[in-house]
């Protein structure tokens, strides 16, 4: 983890941020919207006495996760608005770039479900991309997320007002994002398994035109600003 003067810290591995804010050893952890579970896989390697449950709504990604088992991990199909576990089942809940993907009418319900499955004193770690920066200027051409990202933050604010949660910490940092070329960007960012961005030839050309000026000899290098909020289950 390094930082430059007058800039946000640059973080290569968000697990370092997580470890600085909440206990990880010997924890029962649920990650909601786990995707490929990259951080979860690193977490159980670093803390083999912890167990992580990855919840994922994307059937294709869930199948990939199940096909790559790892000690300390289990994968379950489902969404944050209906978590299929009993009350107080977990010590820590993670939402890594996933809260804004919850349908807006279900955000409050989802955070209520997280509160239900956490023990008293358990933590919720929410990491959300900030709506800003050069990478966002490319992405918003085909995936405009200004409204849903603001709604995610508003839902956290509402949850705090409910008395069920108390704020513990906030962090802001940037994470590097590298793409070998536009084809790499298209595959990873424009055609995810969990969403159809309706990419036609015209949209592809418009995104390419904004992306290409960022290309250099080693590809395109961006940083993505991130905002982390940690809440504790209290009421």
pLDDT of residue 228: 98
Structure tokens, 114: 């997280």
- Rounded to an integer, the average pLDDT of 28-40 is 97
Q: With 90 as the cut, is the pLDDT of residue 7 above it?
A: no
Domains, the chain, ordered by start: 14-131+144-176+226-233 (3.40.50.150)
pLDDT of residue 79: 96
Confidence class for position 3, pLDDT limits 50, 70, 90:
very low
pLDDT of residue 195: 85
* Token pair 């968000």 in the structure block, residue: 14
pLDDT, tens only, 134-174: 999 999 999 999 999 999 999 999 999 999 999 999 999 99
pLDDT of residue 125: 98
Q: What distance in Å separates the CA atoms of residue 207 and residue 71, rounded to the nearest whole number?
A: 40
Q: With 50 as the cut, is the pLDDT of residue 4 above it?
A: no
Length of the chain: 235
Confidence class for position 1, pLDDT limits 50, 70, 90:
very low
pLDDT of residue 235: 80
pLDDT, tens only, 46-102: 999 999 999 999 999 999 999 999 999 999 999 999 999 999 999 999 999 999 999
Q: With 80 as the cut, is the pLDDT of residue 224 above it?
A: yes
Q: With 50 as the cut, is the pLDDT of residue 8 above it?
A: yes
Q: With 60 as the cut, is the pLDDT of residue 2 above it?
A: no
- Rounded to an integer, the average pLDDT of 107-113 is 98
pTM exceeding the 0.85 threshold for the entire prediction: yes
Which residues face 94 on adjacent strands?
Answer: 31, 125
pLDDT of residue 193: 84
pLDDT of residue 155: 98
Confidence class for position 5, pLDDT limits 50, 70, 90:
very low
State the SS3 of the chain: CECCCCCCCECCCHHHHHHHHCCCCCCEEEEECCCCCHHHHHHHHHCCCCEEEEEECCHHHHHHHHCCCCCCEEEEECCCCCCCCCCCCEEEEEEECCHHHCCHHHHHHHHHHHHHHEEEEEEEEEEEECCCCHHHHHHCCCCCCHHHHHHHHHHHHHHHHCCCEEEEEEEEEEEEEEECCHHHHHHHHHCCCCCCCCCCHHHHHHHHHHHHHHEECCEEEEEEEEEEEEEEECC
């Amino acid at each position: 983890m390094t930082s430059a003067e007058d800039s946000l810290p640059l973080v290569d591995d968000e697990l370092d941020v997580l470890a600085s804010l909440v206990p990880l050893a010997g924890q029962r952890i649920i990650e909601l919207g786990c995707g490929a579970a990259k951080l979860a896989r690193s977490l159980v390697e670093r803390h083999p006495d912890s167990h992580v449950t990855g919840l994922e709504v994307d059937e294709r990604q869930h199948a990939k996760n199940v096909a790559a088992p790892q000690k300390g991990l289990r994968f379950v199909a489902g969404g944050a608005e209906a978590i299929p576990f009993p009350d107080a089942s977990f010590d820590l809940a993670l939402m890594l770039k996933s809260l804004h993907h919850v349908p807006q009418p279900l955000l409050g319900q989802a955070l209520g479900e997280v509160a239900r499955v956490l023990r008293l004193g358990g933590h919720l770690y929410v990491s959300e991309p900030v709506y800003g920066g050069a990478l966002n200027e490319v992405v918003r051409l085909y995936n405009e997320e200004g409204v849903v990202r603001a709604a995610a933050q508003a839902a956290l604010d509402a949850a705090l007002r409910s008395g069920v949660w108390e704020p513990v910490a906030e962090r802001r940092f940037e994470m590097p994002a590298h793409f070998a070329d536009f084809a790499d960007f298209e595959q990873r960012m424009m055609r995810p398994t969990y969403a159809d961005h309706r990419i036609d030839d015209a949209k592809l050309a418009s995104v390419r035109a904004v992306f290409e000026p960022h290309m250099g000899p080693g590809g395109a290098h961006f940083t993505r600003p991130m905002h982390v909020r940690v809440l504790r289950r209290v009421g």
